[in-house]
Structure 1
Amino acid sequence: MIFSSFGNAPAEMSFIRMAHAIDEFAKESEEDVFVQVGNTRYEFKYARIVKFLEHEEMVDAMRRASIVVLQGGWGTISEAIFLKKRIVAIPRRVGQECHHPQEEVVRYLEKLGCLIGCYNTAELPNLIEKARRIEFKTLSRGNAAQYINPFLDNIK
């Protein structure tokens, strides 16, 4: 299964780019694609969706997934890193899809080897296949702050 999560941004910041890319991937995939859509307003045709999951349900879905495709927020990405998942992250665009800099976070974590960043959603299928073949660096609970806090301090 591929699991995807859109976070909990307000509906006026719907992540249509990601929704369309995931749904198109689901159309062609033989693998089940399960999506927590949050407040994103998009009519999915091919992916199996749920609006929101309880935290433990989301963690369970990530555990069962072969790949996770996530929006670029630190919260869900950090959970996936701690679970040692193969991650493709699509950052939201500041001002259109979020109020904070997701692309910088994704690029930083990609540089550390923790995930693959998807900056052009047309590339999503190829990046999911790439994620199947490479090893990702993990961060353990308790030491992630030493990596992320200095980065966050620099972007304020």
Structure 2
Amino acid sequence: MIFVTVGTHEQPFNRLIQKIDELKKDGTIQDDVIIQTGFSTYEPKYCQWSKLIPYQQMVKNVADARIVITHGGPASFIMPLQVGKTPIVVPRQHQFNEHVNDHQVEFARNVSKRMGTIIDVEDIETLGEIITNYDQIVAGMGHGMSSNNAKFNEDLEKLVDKLF
């Protein structure tokens, strides 16, 4: 199953919802799809959807999903990371009147570059290819997340080894 969430920001994110619906229609997406559409006005024809989903159901959907696709709101992509998922993040863009500015684009770009834990998709035309190749993309990411404690311990051990 693929779970898509656009959060609860009051501006529609029709571009993402419509693209997912098209990818399901044309068979690019084979999985069942559940979409949380928020304040979007486009109503999917090929995917299961709800405007809003209670938080516990969101957590269950994320846990059950093979792929999680979110907008660029930190709360929406941090939760999948916490349950061990690598989310595809499609940031809302100001040029499409999806948000008041491009902070989601900048934030997703920085998290992708610095942490390597999300798949940042700024060009929605690449989304189908990314979904198709998701497993290979994730396998090749090598996730940049690591425990600060583990790194501290490694560095301390090297320092101690040098002293003796």
Return the TM-score normalized by structure 1: 0.82
Per the alignment, residue 157 of structure 2 pairs with none
Q: Residues 8 and 139 from structure 1, CA distance in 2 versus in 1: closer, same or farther, beyond 3 angstroms?
A: farther
Per the alignment, residue 15 of structure 2 pairs with 17
Specify which of 131, 134, 137 is matched with residue 134 of structure 2.
Answer: 131
8 A Cα contact 1:37 1:51, kept in partner = yes
Q: CA deviation at 1:99?
A: 2.6
Q: Residues 56 and 138 from structure 1, CA distance in 2 versus in 1: closer, same or farther, beyond 3 angstroms?
A: farther
Note the residue ranges of structure 1 that are not aligned, 5 or more in a row: 144-156
Per the alignment, residue 153 of structure 2 pairs with none
Q: How far apart are the structure 2 equivalents of 1:65 and 1:6?
A: 16
Q: How far apart are the structure 2 equivalents of 1:126 and 1:107?
A: 19
Identity of aligned residues (%): 29
**Structure 1 residue ranges, 4+ long, deviating more than 4 angstroms after superposition:** none
Q: How far apart are the structure 2 equivalents of 1:87 and 1:5?
A: 11
Q: Is 1:113 matched with 2:79?
A: no
Q: CA deviation at 1:14?
A: 0.7
Over residues 20-67 of structure 1, what are the superposed CA-to-partner deviations in whole Å (9 max), with x where a residue is unaligned? Answer: 111112212221011011111102111110111111110100000000
Question: Secondary structure at the residue paired with 1:40?
Answer: coil
Per the alignment, residue 160 of structure 2 pairs with none
Which structure: larger Rg?
2
1:142-153 equivalences in 2 (<5 Å): none
Return the TM-score normalized by structure 2: 0.78
Q: How far apart are the structure 2 equivalents of 1:53 and 1:43?
A: 15
Note the residue ranges of structure 2 that are not aligned, 5 or more in a row: 150-164
- Between the two proteins, the alignment pairs up a number of residues equal to 141
Over residues 61-91 of structure 1, what are the superposed CA-to-partner deviations in whole Å (9 max), with x where a residue is unaligned? Answer: 0000000010010011110111111211111
AA in 2 matched with 1:16:
N
Question: Secondary structure at the residue paired with 1:125?
Answer: helix
Per the alignment, residue 4 of structure 1 pairs with 4
Alignment RMSD (CA, Å): 2.2
Q: How far apart are the structure 1 equivalents of 2:9 and 2:145?
A: 25
Using the TM superposition, name which of 94-103 and 106-115 deviates more.
Answer: 94-103
Question: Secondary structure at the residue paired with 2:52?
Answer: coil
AA in 1 matched with 2:109:
R
Q: CA deviation at 1:113?
A: 1.0
